[in-house]
Amino acid sequence: MTHFDPAFTVRSFVGAGGVRLSGAVGGVEGAPVVVFLHGGGQTRRSWEGAARAFAARGYCVINLDARGHGDSEWAPDGCYKVEVQAADLRAVLADITAPIALVGASMGGITALHLVGSGPPPAVTALVMVDIVPRIETLGAERIKSFMRAHRDGFATLDEAAQAVAAYSSHRQRPKDNSGLMANLRQRDDGRLYWHWDPRLIDGPQSIEPPDFSDDLLALSRRITTPVMLVRGLLSDVVSEQGIAEFRAVVPHLEVWEVPQAGHMVAGDRNDAFNQGVLSFLEQHMKVGKP
C-alpha cells in the first residue's frame, strides 16, 4: 500500500567532494521520482507550488537546493561549473531504483541535460528543460548576469529587494505581500539583507549557464534518447525560435510546451499552466497511480 505524505521533509544529501546538499522530499513512497532543480540565484522555494502539485498527483518528489544556494553548503573551492553540479545530481540519484524525471529551470536544466547526455545516467525516464536550451540569447543571458551582479551591498529593507525583483520581472504583477521573498535573503551582521547564494557563483572563472559552453551542450544533446520537453515562456528573452531549432536538430524527439504570459521564470509566472503541461508530458512517459 502506497503512503502519500502531504508534508515535505527536509533531508540532507552528499554531493560531489562531500558538499552537503539540502532538499525537501515528499509525495508517495516508492513511486516514480520527480526531481526539481532551480535556476541560478534561486532556491528550492521557487518550486514549492509545483512540488506540492506533483506530489499530490502520486509522484515522489525531491526539491533540491543546488550547491551554493539556499540551505545547501557553499563549495569550499568556489567551483560551480556544470560538470560539478551534474556530479552532485548523480550522487543524489545514485540509490534511487524507481524511474526518474528531471525538471530543471535554467541552470538546473543545464545540469540535468549534462547528466543525461554524459551517461550512463541513473534511471532517467524523462527530462524537462524549463526555458533553457544549449544556445540561449545573449541579451537574455546578460540581463540575468546583470541582475545577479547587482546590489553587492545588499538591501536596507525587504521592500528594496522586492523593487529589484519587480524591475527584472516587469511583466509580473507585484505581490501585495513581500514576505515570501525572505526565503531567498539572509540578514548579515551589518543588518542588511543579501541574496542567499555564493557570490563566487557569478564571479568565478566557470560560467554556470550558456552560451559560454553551448557547443559542448549540443554535442552532449546528440546522445540523448530520453524523452525531452522544453517548457518555454513566451515573454522570455532567453530562448528564441533559433535556439529551439538548433536544439531540435540534435534532439529530434524534442517536445515544446509554450506558456503565454510567462517570462524566464515560467513556474513563478504561470504555475497552473506549467503544471498542466509537464504533468501531461510525464503521464505519457512515466505513469503513476494516484495516491
Average pLDDT over residues 178-200: 87
In this prediction, residue 67 carries a pLDDT of: 96
**Surface-to-core class of residue 132, CB atoms within 10 Å of its CB (0-12 exposed, 13-18 middle, 19+ buried):** buried
- As a whole number of angstroms, the distance between CA 235 and CA 238 comes to 9
Q: Which of 13-17, 80-84, 173-177, 261-265 has the lowest mean pLDDT?
A: 173-177
In this prediction, residue 206 carries a pLDDT of: 55
For residue 170, the 8-state DSSP code is T
In this prediction, residue 209 carries a pLDDT of: 55
- Most confident of the ranges 87-91, 200-204, 211-215: 87-91
Average pLDDT over residues 92-119: 95
For residue 29, the 8-state DSSP code is T
Q: What is the mean pLDDT of the chain?
A: 89
CA distances (Å), 159 to each of 163, 176, 186, 190, 193, in order?
A: 6, 11, 14, 17, 11
Fold of 4-137+206-285: Rossmann fold (3.40.50)
pLDDT digit string, tens, across residues 118-145: 987 678 999 999 999 999 998 888 888 8
Average pLDDT over residues 107-121: 92
203: confidence class by pLDDT, cuts 50, 70, 90: confident
Cell 522586492: give the residue.
162
pLDDT digit string, tens, across residues 230-263: 999 999 999 999 999 999 999 999 999 999 999 8
Instruction: Give the residue extent of every domain in the chain.
Output: 4-137+206-285
Average pLDDT over residues 71-75: 95
% residues pLDDT > 70 (the chain): 91
